[in-house]
């Protein structure tokens, strides 16, 4: 652990410059630049809201707003975007940086931190846009918004821990690059994001608690859509699981260090 922390400190300038370069290179040749960070998810929300709001608008009794479905959907999309973006970037965390790892002796722990910094900044930009839109729709944030750093941190920790493990495995099992996007598609539709949990039959609703993404998305819904405190017990458990996954992932990185460089 001390070696990881020392490596992060010694390469702090490399971390900062890499995050900046990642953000700049995302839309280097785009006229709209960083606005695409907001446009993509909001267009997705607009499409779902237009198609489904008439069907599902009556299902959101806890949200006193005529745009209840759009608010519910946008809150869930914010959580899903952070989770899926982190996992997708971590999938090629080592494969995509093979040349860098061969040419430079950098601590591999810096790569997950670069990913975490990039996706977090992207998500914060989207979050700021969503808060403005909510206020425009008459759903201004309340004091419950103070929970957002907590649930965002837990989500990022969980996604990063899982992502690092997948990133290591992808070095040796390249089929994961094809499997993970499919799994994410299934996970998206099996998580109440575009539909409320109440439409799921009660006899199978209990299985949702085995889906950690549901618990994370539910926390976002609680704070942003229903404007109430999240379930702290669930967040605590997920935070602990995320920490264990991240430590396990970093241990795998150290354990398979030599073999990874050979494979890359």
> To the nearest 10°, the Cα dihedral for 12, 97, 243, 163?
150
Q: What's the pLDDT score for residue 3? A: 57
Q: What's the pLDDT score for residue 8? A: 64
Q: What is the pTM of this model?
A: 0.87
Q: What's the pLDDT score for residue 235? A: 95
pLDDT tens for the chain, 264 residues: list them.
555 566 666 666 777 777 777 767 766 565 655 566 667 777 777 776 666 655 665 567 777 777 788 888 889 999 999 999 999 999 988 887 766 666 666 767 788 888 898 899 888 888 988 888 888 888 888 999 999 999 999 999 999 999 999 999 998 888 888 999 999 999 999 999 988 888 888 888 888 888 999 999 999 999 999 999 999 999 999 999 999 999 999 888 888 776 776 666
Q: What's the pLDDT score for residue 204? A: 83
Q: What's the pLDDT score for residue 112? A: 86
CA-closest candidate to residue 127, choices 69, 75, 85, 70: 75
At residue 164's C-alpha, the angle toward residues 255 and 44, to 5°, is 170
CB 249 within 8 A of CB 159: no
Tokens of 237: 């458990």
Domain ranges of the chain: 2-263
Q: What's the pLDDT score for residue 264? A: 62
């Amino acid at each position: 652990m001390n070696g990881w922390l020392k490596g992060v400190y010694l390469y702090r300038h490399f971390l900062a410059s890499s995050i900046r370069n990642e953000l700049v290179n995302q839309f280097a040749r785009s006229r709209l630049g960083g606005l695409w960070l907001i446009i993509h998810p909001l267009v997705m929300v607009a499409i779902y809201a237009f198609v489904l709001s008439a069907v599902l608008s009556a299902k959101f009794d806890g949200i006193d707003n005529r745009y209840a479905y759009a608010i519910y959907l946008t809150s869930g999309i914010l959580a899903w975007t952070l989770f899926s973006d982190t996992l997708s970037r971590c999938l090629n965390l080592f494969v995509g940086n093979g040349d860098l790892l061969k040419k430079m002796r950098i601590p591999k722990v810096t790569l997950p931190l670069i990913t975490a910094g990039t996706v977090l900044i992207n998500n914060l930009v989207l979050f700021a846009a969503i808060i403005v839109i909510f206020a425009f729709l008459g759903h201004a944030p309340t004091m419950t918004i103070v929970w957002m750093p907590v649930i965002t941190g837990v989500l990022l920790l969980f996604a990063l821990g899982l992502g690092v493990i997948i990133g290591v495995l992808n070095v040796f099992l390249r089929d994961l690059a094809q499997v993970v996007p499919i799994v994410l598609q299934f996970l998206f539709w099996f998580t109440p994001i575009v539909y409320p949990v109440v439409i799921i039959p009660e006899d199978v609703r209990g299985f949702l608690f085995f889906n950690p993404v549901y618990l994370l998305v539910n926390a976002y819904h609680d704070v942003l859509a229903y404007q109430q405190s999240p379930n702290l017990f669930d967040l605590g458990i997920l935070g602990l699981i995320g920490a264990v996954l991240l430590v396990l992932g970093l241990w795998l990185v150290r354990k398979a260090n030599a073999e990874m460089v050979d494979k890359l």
